[in-house]
Amino acid sequence: MNPIGRRLLAVAPAVLLILAGCGSPTASQQVTLRLGYQPNITHAGALVGVSKGIFSRDLGGGVTLQPQTFNAGPAEVEGIFANSLDAAYMGPNPAINAFAKSHGEAIRIVSGATSGGALLVVKPSITSPAGLRGKRLADPQLGGTQDVALRTWLASQGFHTDVNGGGDVSVVPQDNPQTLQTFRAGQLDGAWVPEPWASRLVVEGGGKVLVDERDLWPGGHFATTVLVVRTGFLRQHPDVVRRLVEAQADVNDLLNGDVTQAEKAVGDELETLTGKRLTDAELSLAWGHMTFTDDPVAASLRLSAQHAESLSLLGHVNLSGLYDLSILNSVLTSKHEATVSGG
């Protein structure tokens, strides 16, 4: 069994807690929404939604928002399994793992958030994929979205990798801040990371982009970040989830509207969370690599699941029921915007 499977199965009994209690709350109850997200620009919706009070405003006075930050999606999945998170922004592969390991019970994808914004940045001396043989690359976490993307791409180039860092190219999981430090110190040859870390590796680390993941997908569109909700919470509080999805749509309207204001808001919040102020050049470079969309780009997620299965990071899984986009499509219809599909 692969390390991801052992790790998730260890907490699988807690999945039973997710399903406990499906009654409707009374009007006098105060609902707490525990929301997970990551300090990455690919999670710009959460960064702005939390920092600008959009989530709190749209959720209303009867809901207390408790935001929590994580380095990568698999850690958020553990939070959901442990019943310490109700909703989270994460990449498609952790969402797939959560769905698979809970036999389709733990989570539902209720909205998209971001497409694009993941790149392989390498030392300038590496001029082609062939130059990666024997090199050491990083990504945020084993089994995460960037990890699956990197290993899949390396396999397409004829390279073998394993989960222990061996093979033709060594792939090691690292927290994104550590990746920047080790890359600058010359201890890494490159990394497949989300924004703003890719642009920071370029601007601060002197790296260059070898692969923009958009170039690997039809039309350049693929799910980088989706919004998932714990199934038990969705059943208990569909009204709260609707307000959360409305907030997500409102935030994406802001991100796609006043770009200057949006970039500043994201930059301010990242500085608060990481203690580092991004330069204007880093923000602008990263922003150009992404599209903020409520569409979860379901076709790309399903292909990501096939990739993870091919890498033996995931067993075969039936993804039927993973999406519940009824609330999102109702919100989009009310905004006179096109509905989306989870098929």
**What letter would DSSP give residue 303?**
H
The strand order across the sheet containing 223-230 reads 63-69, 31-37, 87-90, 223-230, 107-116, 290-292
Return the pLDDT at 17: 39
Measured from the Cβ of residue 236, the count of other Cβ atoms closer than 10 Å reads 19
What residue spans define the domains of the chain?
3-17+29-115+222-334, 118-220
For residue 254, the one-letter residue type is L
Domain 118-220 has CATH 3.20.20.140: no
Contact criterion met (CB below 8 Å) for 116 and 214: yes
Note the pLDDT tens digit of each residue in 85-113: 999 999 998 999 999 999 999 999 999 99
The whole-angstrom separation of Cα 63 and Cα 57 is 10
For residue 207, the one-letter residue type is G
The list of the chain residues with pLDDT below 50 reads 1-27
Specify the CATH number of the domain 3-17+29-115+222-334.
3.40.190.10
Return the pLDDT at 22: 41
Measured from the Cβ of residue 309, the count of other Cβ atoms closer than 10 Å reads 16
Return the pLDDT at 109: 98
3-class DSSP assignment, residue 272: helix
Return the pLDDT at 13: 44
Q: Which of 192, 223, 196, 226 is nearest to 209 (CA)?
A: 192
Return the pLDDT at 295: 96
Return the pLDDT at 82: 95
Q: Does the fold of domain 118-220 match that of domain 3-17+29-115+222-334? A: yes
Return the pLDDT at 317: 84
Give the H or E element holding residue 95: helix 92-101
Return the pLDDT at 5: 46
Torsion-angle region of residue 134: left (phi > 0), alpha (psi -120 to 50) or beta?
A: left
User: Does 92 sit behind a cis peptide bond, omega within 30 degrees of 0 on the bond before it?
Assistant: no
Phi, psi of 87 (to 5 degrees): -155, 155
